[in-house]
Structure 1
Amino acid sequence: MAQKLPLKDFQMLSAMEVPMYGWRARIGFVSPPLMTEMVPYEFYQMVPEGVGLLVTCMGLDDLTAEQMDQALGTVQRHIGEQNRRGVDYVVLGGTPLILSRGIGFEQELLSQVQTLSSVPITTTTHTAVAALRSLGVKRLASLTTYHPWRNELLSAFLSAQGFEVLAVEGFASHIADIHTITPETVFREGKHLLLHHPRAEAIYIPCAQLHTWPVIQRLEKECSVPVVTSTLSWVWSALKHLKIHAPPHAQTMLWQGTVQP
């Protein structure tokens, strides 16, 4: 594990000295798509100075069963490389990958890969469930990028975690087109979903490739429920484990731990 610079020593550095990248912590993320641009962009909107990100990509350009099987076959290599580079926490992305093998596969996968790493490993689905539970959420709606049949898998997964799933609606986007969905579209569709399901105590928006950060707080304010996204949940989980506080501008309801009455 990389040696970290104590905060007191960092503050004493002269103006001519530059601290090591990730002097507070370095978080590893295994990203399923061939290319990833939104994960690092949103990550650095949410974390304080001194927290770094290391991303490896599995190379998916489509969510076919064959490609997902191939991607899952590379997980150990990605974990090994992240561990070799000395990160402090590792996150496996890809809700569709977790759902592809059925309910219960996530825990099986985590049990297998944890033996390969000296630091904690989690998934974006695991952190999302943990985030929703930390908020005391029992009923939720979900806005996704998925096609209807994959939404049904997600609904079954969330139900198995003990949530009452009021609705799961998606953009039915191809993996290569997710980046074209604007934050305003996410806001509009998220608000529409919550208006039609007023009993929802939260909205869950999976897919770390989706641009959501600019509208999370506005959606929470207008609809009075917490918004839990993939990236928000795993950043929250990592910083919480590493005992690092999020900057004030990143204080969503998840950080505040509140569900509106």
Structure 2
Amino acid sequence: MTALGLLYPGHSAEDDYQRIEQLLGSDIRVDLVHTDIGEDAHRVDALRRMGSTDRLAAGVEELRMSGAESVVWACTSGSFVYGWEGAHEQIRSLARAAGLPASSTSFAFVHAVREIGVRRVAVGATYPDDVAALFADFLRAGGVEVVALRESGIITAAEVGTWGKAELFALARAADHEDAEAVLVPDTALHTAAHVPALEKDLGKPVLTANQVTVWEALRLTNRRVNAPELGKLFTREPIVQV
């Protein structure tokens, strides 16, 4: 059994993780601890408070007691708002507090882009334009070329959590660009786990979403690679050809 530990802010789309756990198989457990969201606002000052060391450390002991083998801060905006270096320090502090390998959803996106072998991406963000721009800056710092960026101007995670399939597909289609090799949809408050393969078929290219890459990153930290095509190209391993 591989146990994955996630720190998730508030309550919006946490049921995505239950769905992902079911799709991964019986030997993987996704343990989720809710952190204090504070003020629910996609505003830089509020997001930096939400991702503070004290708030993340508060949930670490529960994950340790659950037997988690890795821990991921399951929040995109609450990590990239610190910038590339600041986000590194955030996960270093988390790793020290947990005594476990640690990461965040922001770094998960960078690592997932590399995993699927692309470089140029389009981003469909639920955030206001200034916050979305910070995510694009973070990706560029990680060596990812952002060829298109679409913002939605949504202020609260609570509102994002009410979005369904129609809004998700509209955002991804609006974000897509002919030069993009993949489309990225950040925000762990957005329900996406049930729709990744359909999105990829609709757009004709890989799609990376926040909750999907978060679990993949937690698995990566434990050196697990899982074949789960129901979660899209990121989880689809090419068969080994015997020569």
TM range (shorter): 0.7 to 0.9
Which runs of 5 or more structure 2 residues have no equivalent in the other structure? 239-243
Q: Counterpart of 1:184 in structure 2: which amino acid?
A: A
Do residues 97 (structure 1) and 78 (structure 2) align? yes
The secondary structure found in structure 2 opposite 1:74 is helix
User: How far apart, in 2, do the equivalents of 1:134 and 1:78 lie?
Assistant: 29
1:102-121 equivalence runs, <5 A: 102-121=83-102
The secondary structure found in structure 1 opposite 2:161 is helix
Do residues 26 (structure 1) and 8 (structure 2) align? no
What CA RMSD, in Å, does the superposition of the two structures yield over aligned residues? 2.3
Count of residues in Structure 1 that have an aligned counterpart in Structure 2: 233
Do residues 217 (structure 1) and 212 (structure 2) align? no
Q: 1:113–1:152: structure 2 CA closer, same or farther, 3 Å change rule?
A: same
In the other structure, the counterpart of 1:231 is 211
The secondary structure found in structure 1 opposite 2:82 is coil
User: How far apart, in 2, do the equivalents of 1:157 and 1:30 lie?
Assistant: 21
- CA shift for structure 1 position 171: 2.5
Whether the 8 Å CA contact 1:206–1:230 is kept in 2: the answer is yes
In the other structure, the counterpart of 2:165 is 183
- CA shift for structure 1 position 214: 2.4
- CA shift for structure 1 position 235: 1.8
Whether the 8 Å CA contact 2:50–2:78 is kept in 1: the answer is no
Deviations 1:12-58 (A, max 9, x none): xxxxxxxxxxxx12211111225653343443343212322222222
User: How far apart, in 1, do the equivalents of 2:13 and 2:236 lie?
Assistant: 29
In the other structure, the counterpart of 1:166 is 147
The secondary structure found in structure 1 opposite 2:97 is coil
The secondary structure found in structure 2 opposite 1:110 is helix
User: How far apart, in 2, do the equivalents of 1:192 and 1:67 lie?
Assistant: 25
Do residues 254 (structure 1) and 234 (structure 2) align? yes
The secondary structure found in structure 2 opposite 1:104 is helix
Whether the 8 Å CA contact 1:98–1:106 is kept in 2: the answer is yes
- CA shift for structure 1 position 66: 4.5
Whether the 8 Å CA contact 1:140–1:201 is kept in 2: the answer is yes
In the other structure, the counterpart of 2:15 is 38
TM-score of the pair, normalised by structure 1: 0.79
Do residues 192 (structure 1) and 180 (structure 2) align? no
- CA shift for structure 1 position 181: 0.8
User: How far apart, in 2, do the equivalents of 1:43 and 1:172 lie?
Assistant: 28
Greater shift, 52-61 or 132-141, is seen at 52-61
User: How far apart, in 1, do the equivalents of 2:36 and 2:13 lie?
Assistant: 10
Do residues 207 (structure 1) and 187 (structure 2) align? yes
Percent identity reads 23
User: How far apart, in 1, do the equivalents of 2:90 and 2:166 lie?
Assistant: 35
Q: Counterpart of 1:160 in structure 2: which amino acid?
A: A
TM-score of the pair, normalised by structure 2: 0.85
Greater shift, 156-165 or 239-248, is seen at 239-248
Of 50, 56, 62, 2:33 maps to: 56
Whether the 8 Å CA contact 1:131–1:254 is kept in 2: the answer is yes
Deviations 1:135-167 (A, max 9, x none): 221110011110111011111111111121112
Which runs of 5 or more structure 1 residues have no equivalent in the other structure? 1-23
- CA shift for structure 1 position 224: 2.1
Greater shift, 131-140 or 208-217, is seen at 208-217
User: How far apart, in 1, do the equivalents of 2:84 and 2:225 lie?
Assistant: 33
In the other structure, the counterpart of 1:129 is 110
